[in-house]
Amino acid sequence: MEDKPTKRSGPVIVIALAAVLVVLSMLYALSMGPALWMINHGWLDPTWAASPVAVAYRPLQWVENRVPIIGPTIATYTDWWLPAGQFKPPASAAGS
């Protein structure tokens, strides 16, 4: 008896790639809180807040300012990482 190879690997690969993209997107979004925490606690140079870190998270800031349901969720999440009165990138910079 011959075992015929099945062609089920195609859908499995597509599902695996989709899962990887979802997980990476979630990790990116969730990394904004720790980045803000590190800036406010001296682990990252505060001058980075104005350039590399701000650029890296500009897409999330855009979503926070323009997407009705997800925006407040992002704002609430990042506020959990910040002590009262600490640095948070300005909303106006996100619109550029």
pLDDT tens-place string over residues 45-94: 777 666 788 888 999 999 999 999 999 999 899 888 887 766 666 555 44
Q: Which of 12-16, 33-37, 83-87 has the highest mean pLDDT?
A: 12-16
Other residues' Cβ atoms within 10 Å of the Cβ of residue 35: 20
Res 17 pLDDT > 70: yes
State residue 94's pLDDT score: 43
End-to-end CA distance of the chain: 65
Close Cβ partners of 46 (under 8 Å, ≥ 6 residues apart): 39, 87
C-alpha span between 74 and 77 (Å, rounded): 5
pLDDT above 80: residue 14: yes
Domain boundaries, the chain: 29-94
Q: From CA 82, how far away is CA 34, in angstroms rounded?
A: 9
